[in-house]
Structure 1
Amino acid sequence: MGHYFSRFFIFCLLLVGGFVPAMAAQAPDTLPAGVTRGPSVEGTTEYVLPNGLRVVLTPDPSKPNVTVNMTYLVGSRHENYGQTGMAHLLEHMLFRGTPSLPNALAEFSRRGLRANGSTSTDRTNYYASFAADPETLEWFIRWQADAMVNATISQEDLDAEMTVVRNEMESGENNPFQILMQKMQAAAFQWHSYGKSTIGARSDIEQVDIEQLRQFYRLHYQPDNAVLIISGQFETNAVLNVIVDAFKDIPRPKRTLPREYTVEPVQDGERLVTLRRQGGSPFVASMFHIPAVGDPSFTLLDLGADMLSDTPSGRLYQALVPQKLGASVFGFARPMAQPGYALFGVQLEPGMDTRKALDALTDSLGTVGKKPFEEEQLKRIKNKWMTGWNQIYADPVSLTDALSDAAGAGDWRLFFLRRDQVEEATLDAVQAATEKYLVPSNRTDGMFLPTAKPVRAPLPPPVDLDALLHDYTGNGAAGSSIEAFDPSPASIDAATLREPLDLPNGTVQLALLPKATRGDRVQATLLVQFANAEQLKGKRTIAQVTADMLQRGTDELSRQQIEDRFDALQADVSFDGSAGNLSVQMSTVGENLPALVQAVLDVVRHASFPADQLAEYQRQASASIQSSMDDPMSLASQAISRHSNPWPRDDVRYAPTFEESLEDIAAISRPDLLRFHEQFYGAGTIRFSAVGAFEPDAVRDALAKGLSGWRKAPPYTRVDDPFHAVPPEDFNIDTPDKANAFYLAFQPLKLQDTDDRFPALYLANYLLGSSETSRLWNRVRVQDGLSYNVRSQFDASSFEPSGSWQIYAIFAPENSARLRSAIQDELGKAIEQGFTEQEVKDGVDALLKLRRLARTRDSVLASAWINYLQLDRTFAWSQQMDDALAALTADQVNQALKSVLKPDGFSTALAADADKQKQEKAGGK
């Protein structure tokens, strides 16, 4: 399953509040009766209940949120003949509810939980994140206990969910790369279940036997086959007591899980897969069998794969991209419980020779033994790997997901052990492991080469995890206690330092919020603004390309040197630009933030836009645009964007066609970029925010040094986006051979977020189509089963009376008419009948919880402060919004909705296979 929230909706959620008391992080001295303490690694501890349920607790008082992840050790690899897709289908069915809770998703939404589930080859999990609250935590734990043994799994629910699952399957079929991967896995794994896709075979899904599905559930969904993982701000002893009480009536099962005995034989020759279907850009790939993640050689192979595919230092990139044989490359080793695979791929532009690209790819992979890796390469990849690990460890949501994956692969401690293995990996060991498995006879790709004396990879031996992890406790002390953070608006305002930084070349507006975080991480945002709409005429594309190219080279540093510099600072940095704006997002450890700020400013000030990098960028951008030209979502979105856009071709607000975008990208030259950078980039209007573990004075000094002597940019005037009326129009776009379709409806609004009706409309949108209790969701997905995802989005500018209401859905083409009718019907009911007082009450409660949850995320706070600095607002605005929401009545919401939402005022775009739409009409007759 998967759920989408618009960027505007996510932003609105951060205007949120609530006091959460500090929680203790220590393990309890006295355990509940029957509970035993298992292994403990660096503050993460396992406990075992009498019924076999394993509980992994990783407290983090610095994050006032909680993430709960129930992991069942069953995935698609456990499915038998005729059962493919059953694990994933069961994941969907659990959200259909139990006798005591018939609609789990709706209840999650009412309580302000960000909840979902996922299925992989090795495990299925159900998770939720929410603002720290003992009552909500207890409720969700008890739901997990209820769902473990009491899921309804009725034929009626199965029939209703079938269209949704089929819709999800068809959505994946729109992606040629995803289908190619499935077919390569099927060719590489001839006997093992890893050769079957997690989504399953259509015939198995559509003809699944309800009793067989129930048996699968009763067999695998048992406490001795589950790991309950909880991370964030909670009191350990209290949580253990709740868990024991919630699961005490579920006995240890007497059944024995089926023994797994299928072993994929060593591959004895190259295998070929060819996929032919309409649309998309060319793609080639090579897949190799490798050991399970528990085998120490897996991590060595993982590092080797990263070195081969790194951009731009890796040999795959060097062999393909500069030579124009491919637009981009990638590679990875997938961590799996049993021997799995590594995959290397090349994205091509239309017209590139796939045979030459595949030859170059396999030739480069074949050089591992002839051209050994270098120590500098290993150091670079280790830095990147450790930066990623540290970011996961510092975030409770990511950490629970990582521990869940590790549990599915054999043991949650693998998450920590693999870090140690990376730190200890030597160049010789990485070289030996990579050479051993990346041999021609172990490869599945698009070529067959007869070989008289094939060199075969060894059969990976079984892994004894008990022996491997015996007495393992990690390589450091348990996480120290961190002061709890209060995410209420008043607390955020009080803790944030907003004194501006006055410099000779302009004032820098600051919002600095220092606070303790796990792993001492910090999130920061730099915003540089310049010029006005008239000065930027004809420069829409070059403004974006200039920002995108900043990180590709300076007067003194190459692209690789810039990446190495950021990696050494354990930093993630992204540059994004549009007309008059450059935004830089930064994440690093607090002690490195001053150095990172200076490094980023150095890149921004001294960008050189190398000609070879520009050519590469143009090829990649062209390939991306051409891939979008037959994508239903992209086609529908472009149709609406162009219809609602009044600006001329040379205006920075103009919405181009795909063809115009290709022309504009191709026309960019290096002198263009240098001139734009010289004319517009500079000091004058700069804003900076940071949230996390850092020293404010050191950051202020770094900004002053980094900006010293920089020329002043042309004075900044915001490019406005005023309201203009758009006549409603319908667009029907044919997308031949696409299994999925996309519907988009748009109505412009003359409305600003300071309007008295804004809180009521914000809530009305949530009730209409932005939650799992919404009218559109219940009608289109739950009741009619027409769409995998249907949403409503409401937007109102903070700067001027200009906004929009949008509705979108992803669905099967043959359901087009029914989808349109259902959406129109629900819009009419919402306006004519309105929402009930109970709906409003529940919606307000859920929104306030979601908004409070959003404020617990440091990256959200940093982005919010940048926005508030532009608007001269503080989080007091967020509190006002909370107060306004809490005071709403059903009459206020319904009156506001009637005054704004006009069903006949929507323009709609429907991108779908016309032939499949005809099948719907024929079936209707």
Structure 2
Amino acid sequence: MKKLLMLLSTALMLGGIASAQKIAFEEYDLENGMHVILHKDHSAPVVVTSVMYHVGAKDDAPNRTGFAHFFEHLLFEGTANIKRGEWMKIVTSNGGTNNANTNDDRTYYYEVFPSNNLELALWMESERMMHPVINEIGVNTQKNVIKEEKRTNYDNRPYGNYLAVVKKNIFKNHPYRNTTIGSMEDIEAATLEEFQAFNKKFYVPNNAVLVVAGDFEKNQAKEWIQNYFGTIEKGETIIKQTFVEEPITQTLKATYVDDNIQTPMILTSYRIPSMKTRDARVLDAISTLLSDGKSSRLYKKIVDDKKLALQIGAFTYSNEDHGMYIIYGLPLGENTTETILKEIDQEIVRLQTDLISEKELQRLENVTDNRFVNNNSTVEGIAENLATYYLLYGDVNLINTEIDLYHSITREEIRAVAKKYLNPNQRLILDYVPSPVEIKN
């Protein structure tokens, strides 16, 4: 009885938090096509100013991979009114922090300042958009930065290239087959004029959303936004290319040798639909069921009970056009990757055959509620979510309603979606192995 009361209390608490955390916002467009979203929160004297551009690794030209990620770095080099090397100094000297990140679909820049520095943040982001300085000095500097990033985060990191290998084999036509960081050969071969043309095409107001979130006065913010962004010239209309991927109808196999590892890893990956679809959300729920926490199906069986693996996991790698569903495992001791794959497949068949229990469904809802609360627990998180839901999903209010979509997932749906996407003839099997040991005579 005590345990039941505790469960009920937890569920009510999460439900109460979820309903209390409805995110209020206002959105509108400037005449140049820039979308603006405002979210007021006076709970702390900070304000987040962010700009998300609808350009990511998928927009890199053939043989020029890595451009979007390169610009994540390059656009900190300076502007007509911010000297080279001064960007970070201005931010830190005014009590702020800032950063940027890039993925396959978008690039995101943001500053967090004390609320009395909102005008400064808006001016800086408008400077970045209006007239960045793109010259040989900045390009050459960032080439060296990105070479080091590639060595550190990919080439010299254990298992650092697994995602690159999976993407290359899962996608045949879509530029998702390339990595975000791209090819160093492509970056080295690019001319200054190509970098300038990329900037002119994508880093324009009608390809961006501006979010201001936190402690600010709305009327003053709107005035500053108009002053700093409203005068920026609209760019040419960007037409996104459509890429068709034929269904995977037979098992794909690949092997990758990583000199940085000693324990092999088995990965199996399935191509899945856009993150905007209901099926993608069901698959996300399935990954939670399989590998979220020590009570999850794969962990409990393969790691805890049978002690076959050091680590096991399942997750969706979600994107705007397509996604991937990836399951991986690292064998323990003398166990093999083949044994782990067999156990994984048994759990998939179980999902495709039997309905999950009501208790498991409730656990999924609890995890979803907790994730929802955590994702919107900071003004920084809210700002990024608002931008993402507008730019990639086309519906800002999903920040409030997506949780209802997850709650509406049924046990029957989970079984049906597992049957639809997670089949042996629809996947890649990747053997990610260490270098063979040389035997000396």
TM-score after normalising by structure 2: 0.87
SS of the residue 1:340 aligns to: strand
Q: Which residue is equivalent to 2:419?
A: 435
Q: Which residue is equivalent to 2:159?
A: 177
Q: Which residue is equivalent to 2:5?
A: none
8 Å contact from structure 2 (residues 353, 415) kept in 1:
no
Matched, 1:414 2:395: no
For residues 24 and 191 of structure 2, the distance between their equivalents in structure 1, rounded to whole angstroms, comes to 44
SS of the residue 2:393 aligns to: coil
SS of the residue 1:181 aligns to: helix
Q: Which residue is equivalent to 1:799?
A: none
8 Å contact from structure 1 (residues 293, 409) kept in 2:
no
SS of the residue 1:386 aligns to: helix
For residues 273 and 390 of structure 1, the distance between their equivalents in structure 2, rounded to whole angstroms, comes to 39
Letter aligned with residue 259 of structure 2: Q
Q: 1:388 aligns with which of 358, 368, 371?
A: 371
> What are the superposed Cα offsets for residues 851-901 of structure 1, whole Å, 9 maximum, x if unpaired?
xxxxxxxxxxxxxxxxxxxxxxxxxxxxxxxxxxxxxxxxxxxxxxxxxxx
For residues 347 and 130 of structure 1, the distance between their equivalents in structure 2, rounded to whole angstroms, comes to 43
Letter aligned with residue 399 of structure 2: F
> What are the superposed Cα offsets for residues 487-523 of structure 1, whole Å, 9 maximum, x if unpaired?
xxxxxxxxxxxxxxxxxxxxxxxxxxxxxxxxxxxxx
For residues 335 and 199 of structure 2, the distance between their equivalents in structure 1, rounded to whole angstroms, comes to 48
- Please, what is the CA RMSD of the aligned residues? 2.0
For residues 416 and 353 of structure 1, the distance between their equivalents in structure 2, rounded to whole angstroms, comes to 44
Q: Which residue is equivalent to 1:120?
A: 103
Deviation at 1:307, TM superposition (A): 0.8
Matched, 1:334 2:317: yes
Q: 1:423 aligns with which of 382, 386, 407?
A: 407
TM alignment of 1:480-491, pairs within 5 A: none
> What are the superposed Cα offsets for residues 633-659 of structure 1, whole Å, 9 maximum, x if unpaired?
xxxxxxxxxxxxxxxxxxxxxxxxxxx
For residues 357 and 230 of structure 2, the distance between their equivalents in structure 1, rounded to whole angstroms, comes to 56
Q: 1:299 to 1:266 in 2, by over 3 A?
A: same
Matched, 1:365 2:364: no
SS of the residue 2:100 aligns to: strand
> What are the superposed Cα offsets for residues 187-241 of structure 1, whole Å, 9 maximum, x if unpaired?
0011111111100012112222211111111001111110011211111111111
Matched, 1:63 2:44: yes
Q: 1:416 to 1:430 in 2, by over 3 A?
A: farther
Deviation at 1:63, TM superposition (A): 2.3
Letter aligned with residue 181 of structure 1: L
Deviation at 1:391, TM superposition (A): 2.0
Matched, 1:192 2:174: yes
Q: 1:86 aligns with which of 67, 76, 97?
A: 67
8 Å contact from structure 2 (residues 157, 260) kept in 1:
no
Deviation at 1:417, TM superposition (A): 3.2
Matched, 1:295 2:307: no
Deviation at 1:48, TM superposition (A): 0.9
8 Å contact from structure 1 (residues 99, 150) kept in 2:
yes
Matched, 1:219 2:168: no
TM-score after normalising by structure 1: 0.43
Q: Which residue is equivalent to 1:773?
A: none
Deviation at 1:50, TM superposition (A): 0.8
SS of the residue 1:176 aligns to: coil
Letter aligned with residue 39 of structure 2: T
TM alignment of 1:276-291, pairs within 5 A: 276-280=257-261, 281-291=263-273
TM alignment of 1:790-809, pairs within 5 A: none
> What are the superposed Cα offsets for residues 323-345 of structure 1, whole Å, 9 maximum, x if unpaired?
12112222222332112111122
8 Å contact from structure 2 (residues 209, 391) kept in 1:
no
8 Å contact from structure 1 (residues 52, 252) kept in 2:
yes
Q: 1:352 to 1:183 in 2, by over 3 A?
A: same
SS of the residue 2:99 aligns to: strand
Q: Point out the structure with max Rg over C-alpha.
A: 1
8 Å contact from structure 2 (residues 205, 234) kept in 1:
yes
Letter aligned with residue 410 of structure 2: T
Q: Which residue is equivalent to 2:10?
A: none
SS of the residue 1:346 aligns to: strand
8 Å contact from structure 2 (residues 23, 399) kept in 1:
no
Q: 1:333 to 1:96 in 2, by over 3 A?
A: same
> What are the superposed Cα offsets for residues 288-345 of structure 1, whole Å, 9 maximum, x if unpaired?
1111121122212211221122333332223311212112222222332112111122
Q: Which residue is equivalent to 1:204?
A: 186
For residues 129 and 282 of structure 1, the distance between their equivalents in structure 2, rounded to whole angstroms, comes to 42
For residues 142 and 239 of structure 1, the distance between their equivalents in structure 2, rounded to whole angstroms, comes to 12
8 Å contact from structure 2 (residues 310, 331) kept in 1:
yes
8 Å contact from structure 1 (residues 286, 362) kept in 2:
no
Matched, 1:320 2:302: yes
8 Å contact from structure 2 (residues 329, 337) kept in 1:
no
8 Å contact from structure 2 (residues 330, 337) kept in 1:
no
For residues 403 and 442 of structure 1, the distance between their equivalents in structure 2, rounded to whole angstroms, comes to 34
Q: Which residue is equivalent to 2:246?
A: 265
Q: 1:307 aligns with which of 289, 292, 306?
A: 289
For residues 127 and 333 of structure 2, the distance between their equivalents in structure 1, rounded to whole angstroms, comes to 52
For residues 271 and 398 of structure 2, the distance between their equivalents in structure 1, rounded to whole angstroms, comes to 20
SS of the residue 2:257 aligns to: coil
Q: 1:414 to 1:341 in 2, by over 3 A?
A: farther
TM alignment of 1:615-626, pairs within 5 A: none
Letter aligned with residue 364 of structure 2: I
Q: Which residue is equivalent to 1:377?
A: 360
Q: 1:163 aligns with which of 144, 149, 159?
A: 144
8 Å contact from structure 1 (residues 304, 431) kept in 2:
no
> What are the superposed Cα offsets for residues 426-483 of structure 1, whole Å, 9 maximum, x if unpaired?
2222322232111112211237xxxxxxxxxxxxxxxxxxxxxxxxxxxxxxxxxxxx
8 Å contact from structure 2 (residues 270, 428) kept in 1:
yes
8 Å contact from structure 1 (residues 270, 440) kept in 2:
yes
SS of the residue 1:274 aligns to: strand
TM alignment of 1:580-595, pairs within 5 A: none
Tell me the matched-pair count: 406
> What are the superposed Cα offsets for residues 500-556 of structure 1, whole Å, 9 maximum, x if unpaired?
xxxxxxxxxxxxxxxxxxxxxxxxxxxxxxxxxxxxxxxxxxxxxxxxxxxxxxxxx
For residues 363 and 278 of structure 1, the distance between their equivalents in structure 2, rounded to whole angstroms, comes to 31
8 Å contact from structure 2 (residues 74, 142) kept in 1:
yes
Q: 1:347 to 1:237 in 2, by over 3 A?
A: farther
For residues 414 and 402 of structure 2, the distance between their equivalents in structure 1, rounded to whole angstroms, comes to 14
Deviation at 1:358, TM superposition (A): 2.5
Name structure 2 gaps, 5 residues minimum. Answer: 1-21, 436-441
Q: Which residue is equivalent to 1:721?
A: none
Deviation at 1:401, TM superposition (A): 2.2
Letter aligned with residue 428 of structure 1: E
For residues 401 and 369 of structure 1, the distance between their equivalents in structure 2, rounded to whole angstroms, comes to 35
SS of the residue 1:43 aligns to: coil
Name structure 1 gaps, 5 residues minimum. Answer: 1-40, 448-629, 631-735, 737-925
SS of the residue 2:137 aligns to: helix
Q: Which residue is equivalent to 1:733?
A: none
Deviation at 1:249, TM superposition (A): 1.8
For residues 408 and 128 of structure 2, the distance between their equivalents in structure 1, rounded to whole angstroms, comes to 42
Deviation at 1:350, TM superposition (A): 5.7
> What are the superposed Cα offsets for residues 809-858 of structure 1, whole Å, 9 maximum, x if unpaired?
xxxxxxxxxxxxxxxxxxxxxxxxxxxxxxxxxxxxxxxxxxxxxxxxxx
> What are the superposed Cα offsets for residues 391-416 of structure 1, whole Å, 9 maximum, x if unpaired?
22231011222233334423333333
Letter aligned with residue 401 of structure 1: E
8 Å contact from structure 2 (residues 113, 121) kept in 1:
no
TM alignment of 1:496-511, pairs within 5 A: none
For residues 204 and 162 of structure 1, the distance between their equivalents in structure 2, rounded to whole angstroms, comes to 11
* Relative contact order, higher structure (CA 8 A, sep 6+): 2
Deviation at 1:42, TM superposition (A): 4.2
